[in-house]
Structure 1
């Protein structure tokens, strides 16, 4: 292991797209279409929300593309916050990512994986917890082997995940299956949902699109020119948008809006109609693969945030060790894996581990993403260096992105408050302040 070694450009554009698609397309796409259909009660409004969510995500991705091409670094948005606000703010973000954002997402997805794998292959009374803990350990070990192995597995898992979604699309449009019952949907835009309800639907859609921001963490390791980052980000969002729209259209066509809105497992119902009991059983496996894909991708980018913190803070220096032969920050991966396992244990003590992870991760995530959006304006003023890529329609594009992040931050805080979980996020950030003061004190003492 060599100290001081920096990331190299070992990641292909295809591997990068697989990582981004794998992060974004998770278990949410199997649940959100029903929720949006129920909220809007109209095919036209439902599809409009999905398209609007895609456009907002692309706006955010373009903002990140400008920052990533101007300041490529394995620290991703942690690095952008450092340049815009200084080390204190970026440390708190890195702390939040290490303690709740990335590790909470890993634990959340591990519970999803465990829930669905239990339906396929139960392993005892606490099967969900055992599967969740096991997958965290296994994928951490895979990532310790190196970026080539983890990116290769990511590409394979993403293909399987997309195949599962294609099965839904095939079933919904009656391709290669028995004819489906004919359903009738009301005319487009025949109802007028309240603005607040449309906003709630947008919250769920944007959460389902969430994760594209992690592309910034691989900008320093991507092969090609700086503009390759832009191509990778836009191509990833385009693929995701097409898949999401086709899945929604397939569910609406195959089940009808009314059934879709009332169903708790719409994709399972659709596959059951098209392929019989086998289709319903396969869906559990597809959801498990979707969760697995997102866990692995989150681990890849999350460890790089830990690496960046190790570079900046003497007291965390061990996390900055980069193994050039593997293209991997091994200590950062180990730290991430241990915290994720601890959160799996915490979630196991709650009535619903998945819900517990959502409650205390979402508010912190959207607050800091809002700050990253503002950093685009700040860095254009503070550091007007050459930009290989500039976000189109500046400043309108980043303003819309910031407004969306602000709205989601508010909505997630209100949701956490309704569940009595805001205090947990506050305690985590207070602990981060204590850790920051300790590191500052230790640094001044050493000097």
Structure 2
């Protein structure tokens, strides 16, 4: 859709709710365990959440310049195509189709099932089968039609905020059981500060996932040059505050050793704050929140390979672009996504899957940050309704932060990194094969 076709109807309030609704997901409840495992420190844990929010704001402000200048369907894929050409653009679409969306679906299915089994005291041997059943159920909902999937998304968007605010309010009003120092940034355990902090930062960034798409409404804002930076700064700052405070509540309610590596930490905190029955009700709200996030990634993920297949730019495009006759949903794309996600569930844990997808997406994010500099030099006359604040400082901060994450992740988890790069690189021969067929 070109900029001329977009109606400029979205106000600042609408942009704010879009930014927050896009970013707030399931990670806020379940990444505390991974972050605390890496830092073994309350102060450094809270700093990691704060710093990740700062990087996210810088990244969002940077990408927003491209979003207003190139307000076309495809978002990040289109920005990379304009800046670098077809191959890098295809590789992002390939990585999203093969890694990003399936890994998100797999990770969220695993964490949903972990909470479900804990809530009903079921045996851990059911983790894999119930995770696959969960992903199948969400795919089934999407196959029933976009309207039904969208209604599920609207309902869960409201519900997911309830357990967050309930835990925050009750946690702040309840006397803390653990003393928390927010100024002590030392690391516990035997890891170096840089290694522990970078691993913690990588974990927190999953909770901020979605920021790359905050500029998708840019072409429909009434005043993009004023409202978009406000929506990103205020929206993402509020998300950062929510994440920081809820983690403060976790840390003042449970000792560090009971949070580290404990996938059920949020449920344990809810049980302490509200008692057994109240804790179960809050945990149920968390489950609905996770299911909603799972539905959102499923609904969006189906359409990435479909969009490529429509242009005959994906493997088996003829099959991938098939729509069901009754609901006009790309059902083959949905089933392929489900199969990949189910395979990932069988070989990876929640944290492993999320770390891999965050690494891969931040690699492409760095390319997008650099594209702001590249396009300003190459196409200085390109219409830019919004220009990134404090240029070039803001995009440089985003690039330095992203570079630090990628370098430290490569040093600390080289196998994970090589897996992500290898799967992405498989798209190169696929691209040239498809170009040859054309």
Q: Per the shorter chain, which TM-score range?
A: 0.7 to 0.9
338-347 or 229-238: which moved more? Answer: 229-238
1:89 aligned residue: 88
| Deviation per residue, 1:134-168 (Å, 9 max, x gap) | 12321x236x425xx65554343122111111121
Change (3 A) 1:233 1:7: farther
1:298 aligned residue: 297
2:375 equivalent to 1:376? no
21-30 or 354-363: which moved more? Answer: 354-363
Q: Counterparts of 1:276-295 in structure 2 under 5 Å?
A: 276-295=275-294
SS in 2 for 1:393: coil
257-266 or 100-109: which moved more? Answer: 257-266
1:145 aligned residue: 146
1:79 aligned residue: 78
76-85 or 403-412: which moved more? Answer: 403-412
Change (3 A) 1:388 1:310: farther
Change (3 A) 1:72 1:416: same
Task: Give the total of aligned pairs.
Answer: 422
2:432 equivalent to 1:429? no
| Deviation per residue, 1:159-213 (Å, 9 max, x gap) | 2111111121123123xxxx65654345733857753133333222233222211
TM-score by length of 1: 0.79
Runs of 5+ unmatched residues, structure 2? none
2:401 equivalent to 1:396? no
Aligned-residue Cα RMSD (Å) equals 3.8
- Check conservation: 1:84, 1:375, Cα contact below 8 A: yes
| Distance apart, 1:233 and its partner CA | 3.4
| Deviation per residue, 1:260-311 (Å, 9 max, x gap) | 5586543323222221112442354233223223223334544554465357
Q: Counterparts of 1:264-343 in structure 2 under 5 Å?
A: 265-303=264-302, 305-306=304-305, 309-310=308-309, 313=312, 316=317, 330-331=329-330, 334-343=331-340
| Distance apart, 1:319 and its partner CA | 7.5
Q: Counterparts of 1:29-428 in structure 2 under 5 Å?
A: 29-37=28-36, 39-40=38-39, 42-120=41-119, 125=126, 126-138=129-141, 140-141=142-143, 144-146=145-147, 150=149, 153-174=152-173, 180=175, 182-186=177-181, 188-189=183-184, 191=186, 195-196=193-194, 197-220=196-219, 222=220, 224-227=222-225, 228-255=227-254, 260=259, 265-303=264-302, 305-306=304-305, 309-310=308-309, 313=312, 316=317, 330-331=329-330, 334-350=331-347, 352-355=348-351, 357-358=353-354, 360-384=356-380, 385-414=382-411, 416-417=413-414, 420-421=415-416, 424-428=419-423
| Deviation per residue, 1:393-430 (Å, 9 max, x gap) | 2112111111222222334445553xx45554355334
| Distance apart, 1:329 and its partner CA | 8.8
- Check conservation: 2:203, 2:351, Cα contact below 8 A: no
TM-score by length of 2: 0.81
| Distance apart, 1:85 and its partner CA | 0.3
d(CA) in 1 for partners of 2:299, 2:223: 21
1:439 aligned residue: 434
59-68 or 227-236: which moved more? Answer: 227-236
1:325 aligned residue: none
Change (3 A) 1:99 1:266: closer
| Deviation per residue, 1:56-112 (Å, 9 max, x gap) | 110000011111111101210100000000111101111111111123212322232
d(CA) in 1 for partners of 2:53, 2:27: 15
d(CA) in 2 for partners of 1:133, 1:414: 36
d(CA) in 2 for partners of 1:262, 1:302: 29
